[in-house]
Amino acid sequence: MTNKQINFKFLNFKYLFVVFAYLVICLFGYLREANAQQVNLSITPPLLELVIKPGKSIMVAYRVENFGDPVILTAKLVNFEPKDNLGNIRLKDDFTGPVRFSLDNADLQLDQPFFLKTGDSQQLLLRIRLPEGAPAGDYYYTLLAETTPPNTTEGIGSARSRASIGSNILITVTDSGVVEVKPKIVLFSTIGGLAFVRDLRIYDSFDKIPLVFMVENKGKNMIKPEGQISLKGNFGEETKYDIIPKNILSQSQRLIEATPSSQLVTSHQQPVTLILSGFFIGLYRLSTQVTFGENSPTVFASTSFFAFPFKLIAGLVTVIVITILIIKKFSKNSDEDS
Amino acid sequence: MRNTRKVKIQKVKMQKLKSKCKSFFNTFNFLLVFLTFTFLLLTSKPLLAVSMESSRFRIESANTSSAAGNKSSDNYKLSDTIGQLAAGEFSSTGYVIKAGFQYLHSIIPFRFSISDINIALGTLTPNTSSTATTVLSVYFGGAGQYQVTAIEEGALKTLSGNSVPDTSCDGGAETCSESQAKTWSSSTAYGFGYNMSGNDVPADFISGTQYRPFPDRTAAESPVVIMSSSDVGKNRQSTMTFKANISPIQPAGSYQTIINFVATPSF
Q: Over pLDDT 90: what percentage of chain A?
A: 58
Q: What are the chain A neighbours of B38 within 8 Å (beta carbons)?
A: 22-23, 26
Tell me if A92 is assigned to some domain.
Answer: yes
Q: pLDDT tens digits for A316-333? A: 999 999 999 999 888 887
Tell me if A324 is assigned to some domain.
Answer: no
pLDDT at B242 > cutoff 90? yes
For A125, half-sphere exposure in the C-beta direction (CA atoms, 13 angstrom radius) is 13
**Interatomic CA distance for residues A85 and A79, integer angstroms:** 18
Greater model confidence, A8 or A220: A220
CATH for B111-265 is 2.60.40
Q: pLDDT tens digits for A273-300? A: 988 888 999 999 999 999 998 778 889 9
Q: What is the CATH number of the domain that holds A92?
A: 2.60.40.10
CA A107 to chain centre: 34
B241 → chain A, closest CA residue: A159
Tell me if A30 is assigned to some domain.
Answer: no
Are residues A199 and A168 located together in one domain of the fold?
Answer: no
Q: From the candidates A16, A81, A156, which should be mutated to test the interface with B, based on the most B CB atoms within 10 A? A: A156
**Interatomic CA distance for residues A86 and A25, integer angstroms:** 52
| Residue B104 to residue A46, Cβ atoms within 8 A | yes
pLDDT band, very low/low/confident/very high, at A199 (cuts 50, 70, 90) = confident
A163 pairs with which residues across the strands?
Answer: B261
pLDDT band, very low/low/confident/very high, at B51 (cuts 50, 70, 90) = very low
Q: What are the chain B neighbours of A91 within 8 Å (beta carbons)?
A: 149, 223, 262, 264
> How much is the average pLDDT of B211-221?
94
Q: What are the chain A neighbours of B128 within 8 Å (beta carbons)?
A: none
| Residue A120 to residue B87, Cβ atoms within 8 A | no
Are residues A223 and A307 located together in one domain of the fold?
Answer: yes
Cβ contact A316:A211 at 8 Å: no
Is B165 in CB contact (< 8 Å) with chain A? Answer: no
Tell me if A104 is assigned to some domain.
Answer: yes
Name the B residues in 102-141 with CB < 8 Å from any A CB.
103-104, 106, 109-124, 130, 132, 134, 137, 139
Nearest CB to B95; choose among A45, A56, A147: A56
Q: pLDDT tens digits for A121-130? A: 999 999 999 9
Tell me if A34 is assigned to some domain.
Answer: no
B212 pairs with which residues across the strands?
Answer: B194
Q: pLDDT tens digits for B97-153? A: 776 544 444 567 889 999 999 998 888 888 889 999 999 999 887 656 789 999 999
The pLDDT, as a whole number, for residue A237 is 87
Helices (H) and strands (E) in chain A, counts: 2, 21
A245 → chain B, closest CA residue: B143
Q: Concatenate the DSSP letters of all residues of A139-172 into one string.
A: EEEEEEEEEPPPPP-TTSEEEEEEEEEEEEEEEE
Strand locations in chain B, DSSP E? 51-53, 58-60, 69-72, 76-80, 88-92, 95-99, 110-114, 118-122, 130-140, 146-152, 156-157, 163-164, 169-171, 174-175, 182-183, 191-198, 210-211, 224-229, 233-245, 256-265
Are residues A120 and A211 located together in one domain of the fold?
Answer: no
Greater model confidence, B87 or A130: A130
Q: Break chain B into its structural domains and give their ranges.
A: 1-43, 67-105, 111-265
> Which secondary-structure segment (H or E) carries A276?
strand A274-276
> Which secondary-structure segment (H or E) carries A289?
strand A282-291
What SS3 state is found at A312?
A: helix
Give the number of domains in chain A.
2
| Residue A160 to residue B259, Cβ atoms within 8 A | yes
**Vertex B19: Cα angle to B15 and B22 (nearest 5):** 135
Name the B residues in 42-101 with CB < 8 Å from any A CB.
42-43, 46-48, 51-56, 84-87, 90, 94-101
Cβ partners under 8 Å of residue B197, min gap 6: B205, B208, B238, B239, B241
Are residues A103 and A200 located together in one domain of the fold?
Answer: no
Nearest CB to A158; choose among B43, B119, B232: B119
Cβ-based contacts under 8 A for chains A and B: 275
Tell me if A2 is assigned to some domain.
Answer: no
Cβ contact A38:B116 at 8 Å: yes
The pLDDT, as a whole number, for residue B212 is 96
| Residue A162 to residue B258, Cβ atoms within 8 A | yes
Tell me if A299 is assigned to some domain.
Answer: yes
**Interatomic CA distance for residues B110 and A43, integer angstroms:** 6
Are residues A251 and A291 located together in one domain of the fold?
Answer: yes
A53 → chain B, closest CA residue: B94
Are residues A192 and A139 located together in one domain of the fold?
Answer: no
Nearest CB to B95; choose among A39, A58, A80: A58
Q: Is the dihedral of CA B5, B10, B11, B16 positive or negative?
A: positive
| Residue B104 to residue A47, Cβ atoms within 8 A | yes
> Which secondary-structure segment (H or E) carries B20?
helix B2-43
A115 pairs with which residues across the strands?
Answer: A72
The pLDDT, as a whole number, for residue B123 is 83
Residue A303, Ramachandran bin (φ over 0: left; ψ between -120 and 50: alpha; else beta): beta
Q: First and final CA of chain A: distance in angstroms?
A: 120
Q: Residue A219 belongs to what domain range? A: 183-313
